[in-house]
Structure 1
Amino acid sequence: MTNPKRLALLLALCLALGLALASTALAGNKFEDEVTAEKYAVLGANLAMQAMQGDYKLVDAATLKSWIDEKKDMVIVDTMPYEASYLKAHVPGAEQFLFPVPTMTKWDAKETDGKSEADFEKLLGPDKAKTIVIYCGFVKCTRSHNGAMWARKLGYTNVYRFPGGIYAWMGADYPVAK
């Protein structure tokens, strides 16, 4: 599992990133600025805590795009609903596998479109060391947390969560598949 030093470092990095983003993006009322800075800091800390709990790594849009451009051998999983999201836009090469928003502590096929752990493992493939990237819609969406956490529970060792999801991908003006 994850050690306390890794948690402290991850939390510090997320907090610093959140504060840096908030401070550079803001100008004006110091009280409103502080509310925004606090919002980013809490969001970063929550993301870091989820990553530690799930024992997976995080990847940003630019890095994922470079991996795709390099044709890195990986599985990309979109955890959003098929009709409402995946068909409209997804990261090129991504496969869809629905996960719920609330933390899924035990497998519940009702929450995964009737699919089982074995179905998820089949999608991810037999190579437990292969790079797995899991995303959902946006940073606050926790579907990707569930997918990454379950990939780790199934024994995959190189699991990444792309927290910005399809919104960050489109926000970076990267191409989408439909």
Structure 2
Amino acid sequence: MHISKYRLQRPRRSFWLNAFILACGFLILPLTANAGLFSSKFEAEVQTEQVAIKLHTDTLAGGYQLIDTQGLKTLLDNNKEILIVDAMPYQDSYKKEHIPTALQFEFPITSMPEWKATGTDGKTQSNFANLLGADKDKTLVFYCGFVKCGRSHNAAAWAIKMGYNNVYRYPGGIYAWKGAGFETEGE
């Protein structure tokens, strides 16, 4: 009988011991953040900040406006006359999938302050002007893969340089479009 009492009391001690360990863990946990336990969260924030600052800097330098996923979807749903241009490579990207109604004109990822046909799949500035059309007030939206991709920046900046007035960059690109659950099309 003495043994059964011992067994009945043992879980109680184990519970309190576990509760004590758990409480100590909760007290120590916030201190471990500075010791590197959550460093990836903080490092990720530094990377997010760098991307945001670059996007802001590019937008100011390019002179264009930004549009988000829902804004672009609303324009499409309202049948607004817009020209959407996918600035990614035709074979590797556009042909596989793109935002519905988008046309394709490749631009390089890295900055292109001077026109280089090597960065535009051999196409000229005249080819780009023909794609965009004569109406300088037409709404133009340029996108590429994702926020860090510089192709859409180059495309939008060149449209501004060429005198177009209603130019938007959709920085989230095809990743954000798909992330929102919107349909794509391919050729």
Which TM-score band applies after superposition, normalised by the shorter structure?
0.7 to 0.9
Task: From 49, 64, 67, give the equivalent of 1:59.
Answer: 67
Gaps of 5+ in 2: 1-36
Shift of 1:33: 2.7
SS at match of 1:159: strand
C-alpha separation between the residues in 2 aligned to 1:113 and 1:36?
34
Task: State the partner residue of 1:120.
Answer: 128
C-alpha separation between the residues in 2 aligned to 1:71 and 1:122?
22
Q: TM-score, normalised by structure 1?
A: 0.81
Runs of 4 or more, structure 1, over 6 Å off, are none
Task: From 145, 153, 165, give the equivalent of 1:137.
Answer: 145
Shift of 1:112: 1.0
Q: TM-score, normalised by structure 2?
A: 0.78
C-alpha separation between the residues in 2 aligned to 1:42 and 1:102?
16
The answer to whether 1:153 aligns with 2:155 is no
C-alpha separation between the residues in 1 aligned to 2:113 and 2:53?
21
The answer to whether 1:103 aligns with 2:111 is yes
Structural RMSD (CA)? 1.3
| CA deviation string 1:116-174 (max 9, x = no partner) | 11111111111111110000011111010100000000000110000111111111110
Shift of 1:34: 2.1
SS at match of 2:50: helix
Whichever residue aligns with residue 80 of structure 1, its letter is M
Identity rate, percent: 47
Shift of 1:114: 1.5
Q: Provide the aligned length of Structure 1 versus Structure 2.
A: 151
Task: State the partner residue of 1:69.
Answer: 77
The range that moved more, 42-51 or 109-118, is 109-118
